[in-house]
Amino acid sequence: MRNVGRAEWTKLRTDASNGWLLLGAVALTLAIGAAVAMTSRCDAVACGEDATRLSLTGVMVGQVVVAIVAVLMVGNEYSTGMMQTTVAAVPRRLTVLLSKAAVLSAVILVVGAVGVFGSLLIGGMVTPGRGFTEAHGYEAMSLANSTTLRAAVGSVLYLVLIGLLSLGLALIVRSSATAIGIVLGLLFFFPILTQVITDPDWQRLLQQIAPMTAGLSIQTTIGVDRLPIGPWEGLGVVALWATGALTVGGAVLRARDV
């Protein structure tokens, strides 16, 4: 397993495009989070804005880049025929799946942590000047605050789960373009559909099962009781999506001739 993991890491890091994509994920997460923090304002007590969530807005864009890296990890092997070499060298295909998942998770953990904690650092410096002060009912943004820490750790885990979901879908369809289209559809179609449907019960249900809507509830630090699903429960929904995709992807990998 260790040798297979080392091989997967070598394949991932020697593809220059992956490095640029991961760097882009961090840059976009930081830049968008900073831009939103710098343009938001709280001019009155209990203005209703969530400073922590605003600072983490970039995660919504960073997840797209993470999904692309995860898909290409499998899609490139199928498009180049490298997957045949991989399974020939490692006949136990479950080992291949677990190694890819482990390496991908480790890389996204590092990249996600840099983007998320960097965004909170910037937000902590910027938001007090935008009215998010104790006078308006806001504590200083700090990881010593349990809700801020939950939002930070949960956001990193969310990115990892989106990566694993994307990896599983890529194994199922064996096409980078198709897998990316499906992932983006899952992430952004549900929120759009929620805006179209007018029935509040159906809206709430869609928000509870949508990977992005449910998962990003982990970032909420105020008004948690008004969420359609709790922060950790929402992250659990994304975990179920990722587990389902990896389970089916693993079964397809074992059943198909490469």
pLDDT at 132: 85
* Spatial contact of 135 and 145, defined as CB atoms under 8 Å apart: no
Which pTM value belongs to this model?
0.94
What's the domain count of the chain? 1
pLDDT at 8: 81
Q: CA torsion sign, 236 to 213 to 149 to 154?
A: positive
pLDDT at 236: 97
Alpha-carbon distance 82 to 75, whole Å? Answer: 10
Which CA distances in Å does 133 have to 150, 152, 193?
A: 21, 20, 36
Q: Give the number of C-alpha atoms closer than 13 A to the C-alpha of residue 16, restricted to the C-beta side.
A: 0
Residues whose CB is less than 8 angstroms from the CB of residue 202 and which lie 6 or more positions away in sequence, other chains included: none
Residue type, 8: E
Alpha-carbon distance 234 to 215, whole Å? Answer: 5
Intervals of the chain under pLDDT 50:
none
**How many Å separate Cα 68 from the centre of its chain?**
11
* Spatial contact of 31 and 126, defined as CB atoms under 8 Å apart: no
Range of the domain at 63: 2-255
Residues whose CB is less than 8 angstroms from the CB of residue 236 and which lie 6 or more positions away in sequence, other chains included: none
pLDDT at 257: 67
